[in-house]
Amino acid sequence: MCIRNKHFGILMIMMMVAAMLMLQPGASFAEKKIIWKSSGHGPASDPSQIFHDKLCNAITEATAGRLTVKPFVGGSIVPAYKELDAVDQGVLDMAYTCPMYNLDKWPAAGLISSRPGGLPGEALRTWFNYGGGADLLNKMMKGYNVMTFPGALAPLPEEVFFHSKVELKSLADIKGLKARCMGDGGEILKRMGAATVIIPGGQLYEAMQRGTIDAFEYSTLASNWKMHFSEVAPYVYLSPVRAPSDPQVFFVNKTSWAKLPDDIKIIVQSLIDKWTQAQHEFLVAESVKAVDKFREAGNKVFKVPTDIEEALIAEAEKFYEEKSKSEAPLFAEIYNSMKNFGKAYSAIK
């Protein structure tokens, strides 16, 4: 063998060894990089989307690129509110969305999402992290290639009850009100006489301009100020009864999760826990400021009339008691778990 061929053979062997090292889990010489795609559910201006993007970038930075999470705006990969289907199918590795957008698959999803008469934000996150909530949500999603974990729920402050063109003076004004209202809240208000519809958040401004709807719920005061809703609805109605919290949850593809090294799993969970809580605190602070901003913009900010609140709470209780009897047993299991936790929580307040 000539010297040139000998050197070529040695070089080939070295390249093969290097390639093998790169493919071995935990190899110190080099490690195969993982790329995830993650989507929020809202437009770019929505704080939930902004915090989703911050989280994705934080994971990429904290892992030095070993796990690169590419953030996408809601609706850019799959239609808005279909993110969990995309996670299940492996189109997305992660998504940040509201459980209630999946009522077509799981009737119990509405219990963990802007539920009328439900748990306030602090209690909801505590129940999710330490009261079995995350386990129950995973039990609900059994059969889907999707999972979540404690720390993945951002409770968020109470939602705005309604931005409205119509003044709500009493329960009678709910009758026939054309309103965008999602999830169980929409079903309950429909039982009270409202004409509720489902419209993605990014289309609400235009829907109000066109007169498609008279009123809508969407998110917190802070989020809604950023979306310029003050320009299309002169009335802002506040009450915690329809949605005491506006929770969003991070979901991951089980197969993608299983492929992560253990140390990266710890980083991902820790950062999700950090950013979901940070989003909650940020929106509480910003919502306090936003009340004055809406008023300064010429909006009239009112508390919801008491007779509307009382009627909604009563109707919500009937609605959930009926569904606890008619749906699969898991519905009642989740409902009663939250109800019992709420009673215990109230006792220490």
CATH superfamily of 160-243+300-347: Periplasmic binding protein-like II (3.40.190.10)
Q: What is the reported pLDDT for 315?
A: 97
Q: Is-contact 152 250, C-beta < 8 A?
A: yes
Q: What is the pLDDT of residue 23?
A: 44
Sign of CA dihedral 233, 222, 155, 97: positive
Q: For residues 41 and 73, what is the distance between their CA atoms, to the nearest angstrom?
A: 7
Fold of 34-156+246-285: D-Maltodextrin-Binding Protein; domain 2 (3.40.190)
Q: How confident is the model at residue 183, as a pLDDT? A: 86
Residue 120: how many other CB atoms lie within 10 Å: 17
Q: Name the strand (E) or helix (H) holding 258.
A: helix 254-258
Domain with CATH 3.40.190.10 in the chain: 160-243+300-347
Q: Please give the Cα distance from 43 to 200 (Å, whole number).
A: 9
With beta carbons less than 8 A apart as the criterion, state whether 30 and 15 touch: no
pLDDT in tens, 321-331: 999 999 999 99
Mean pLDDT of 116-137: 96
Q: Report pLDDT for 30.
A: 54
Q: What does the pLDDT read at residue 25?
A: 47
> Which DSSP category does 101 fall into?
G
- How far apart are alpha carbons 205 and 335 in whole angstroms? 34
Mean pLDDT score, 220-225: 92
Rounded alpha-carbon distances, angstroms, from residue 218 to 13, 117, 246: 61, 17, 9
Within 8 A by CB and 6+ apart from 305, the residues are 168, 169, 170, 171
Q: Both tokens of residue 312?
A: 């909604």
- CA distances (Å), 136 to each of 126, 142, 149, 175, 251, in order? 14, 10, 10, 36, 14
Domain with CATH 3.40.190.170 in the chain: 34-156+246-285
Residue 36 has pLDDT above 50, yes or no: yes
Task: Specify the pTM.
Answer: 0.82
Beta-strand relationship, 34-39 and 94-97: parallel
> What confidence score (pLDDT) does residue 246 get?
83
Q: What is the largest CA-CA distance in the chain?
A: 97
Distances (CA, A) of 233 to 125, 200, 219: 31, 17, 14
Q: How far apart are CA 249 and CA 146, in angstroms?
A: 12
Three-state DSSP state, 33: coil
* Closest among 192, 158, 162 to 179, alpha carbons compared: 162
pLDDT at 4 > cutoff 60: no
Query: What pLDDT sits at residue 348?
Result: 87
Is the pLDDT score of 18 beyond 90?
A: no
CA–CA separation, 250 and 42 (whole Å)? 14
pLDDT over 70 (residue 9):
no
Do strands 153-154 and 146-147 pair parallel, antiparallel, or not at all (unpaired)? unpaired
Rounded Cα–Cα distance for residues 120 and 284 (Å):
13
What integer pLDDT is reported at residue 22 of this predicted model? 43
Q: Indicate the average pLDDT of the chain.
A: 90
Per-residue pLDDT tens over the stretch 159-212: 999 999 999 999 999 999 999 998 899 999 999 999 999 998 889 999 999 999
Between strands 248-253 and 94-97, the pairing is: antiparallel
